[in-house]
Amino acid sequence: MYLLKLSFFVFVSTALFSCKFFQQGPVIDEDPIARVNDSYLYPADVSHLSTSGLNVSDSIKLVKNYIDSWVQDQLMVDVAKKNLSEYQKTIEDKMKNYENELIIYLYEKELILQKLDTFVSPSEIQKYYNEFENNFIASSDLYNINYIILPKGIEETNSIRNWFQKSDDKSRANLDEWCDNNIILCQLDNNSWLNIDEAAVLFPLNKYYTNRLKSVNYHFELQDSTHTYMFKTVEYVKAGEQAPLDYVQKNIENILLNKRKVKLIKNTYAEIYKEGVKKNAFQIYN
């Protein structure tokens, strides 16, 4: 009889689910499908179970497993409540506090999405960098590297090598144009700062070339089985020296954005409190 009733429920709920019946809100006066003491499980409570694509047997099994799990959990909750009755108020207070914290968190998150100005100008970043330069000390050696990584054996390798090693405007224009028209890894602007671990990911460095990276404007060329690597160090900063702005720019941007978030939330709290005073929305008793 139980399986027959459950089969009928699965058949009906599957049909209703496919018609988006359960998406129209809770059903009023529906018969429960399970009970544990004073707690009831209704069809709407299992409407999130999708039985589409399952045969009747598998659908019954899915729903039955969910009901059995709900029954076991509810029995455990009831026993826990009886045995923890002296702590019940503490639990309820914690749940209420958590609910309030969650509501505030979600509101603050939505507030930030809607009202936070996320554009940080270069002048703001520069100003913060200048004011707090002692906070931006390189923890490891840093290298500003220009590089081109080519598939091994392409016809233009000699021309690219020639352009890369020269510093005249025509060579640079030729190199820029070639890089723009081909899908390769290429960094020719003087703002690509890397530490040694990051450089080792890009280039097949051995101990010799790792040491030579400190040689500014020295051209390197390495090969492995698939690629040719051309690179040179434009600038070098030792560990313990001030880190360059380009290297810490993203970090500064995040710091400034976080300060804006804090200020936005603080001002919102102040506005809400001021409005509460104006409307006499609260009272503090002595």
Q: Is the pLDDT of residue 27 over 90?
A: no
Give the 3-state secondary structure of residue 128: helix
Answer with the one of 219, 237, 255 that is the final residue of a domain: 237
Give ∠ CA 18-24-29 in degrees, rounded to 5: 100
Q: How confident is the model at residue 161, as a pLDDT?
A: 94
E strand or H helix at 26, and its extent? none
User: Which of 37, 62, 83 is a domain's end point?
Assistant: 83
- Does 270 fall in a domain? no
Q: Report CA torsion sign: 270, 274, 279, 283.
A: positive
Q: Of all residues in the chain, what percent carry a pLDDT higher than 90? A: 59
Residue 12 in this model has a pLDDT that exceeds 60: no
Q: Does 148 share its domain with 72?
A: no
Task: Please give the pLDDT value at position 263.
Answer: 97
Please give the full DSSP string across 146-193, using - where no structure is assigned.
EEEEEETT-TTHHHHHHHHH--SHHHHHHHHHHHHTS-SEEE-STT-E
pLDDT at 9: 52
Question: Considering the domain boundaries, does residue 43 fall inside one?
Answer: yes
Is residue 203 in some structural domain? yes
Structure confidence by residue, pLDDT tens digits, 67-119: 999 999 999 988 887 877 667 768 778 888 999 999 999 999 999 999 999 99
Instruction: Tell me the mean pLDDT in the region 189-211.
Output: 89
Torsion angle of C-alpha atoms 199, 205, 208, 214, degrees rounded to 10: -20
- Domain of residue 51, residue span: 2-83
The rounded distance, in Å, linking the Cα atoms of 278 and 29 is 44
In the structure, what pLDDT confidence band is assigned to residue 192 with cuts at 50, 70 and 90? Answer: confident
Q: Is the pLDDT of residue 25 over 60?
A: no
Task: Please check the confidence at residue 15 and state whether its pLDDT lies above 50.
Answer: no
Write down the pLDDT at residue 6: 52
Which pLDDT does position 11 carry in this prediction?
A: 45
Domain membership flag for residue 279: no
Q: Which of 237, 254, 275 is the last residue of a domain?
A: 237
Sorting pLDDT into bands at 50, 70 and 90, what band is 16? very low
Does 247 fall in a domain? no
* The total number of structural domains that make up the chain: 2
Q: Do 233 and 170 lie in a common domain?
A: yes
Q: Find the CATH number of the domain harbouring 186.
A: 3.10.50
**Position 256 in a domain:** no
145 and 214 co-located in one domain: yes
Establish if 262 belongs to a structural domain.
no
- Looking at the domain assignment, is residue 22 inside a domain? yes
Highest-confidence segment of 78-92, 173-187, 234-248: 234-248
What value does the mean pLDDT of the chain take? Answer: 86
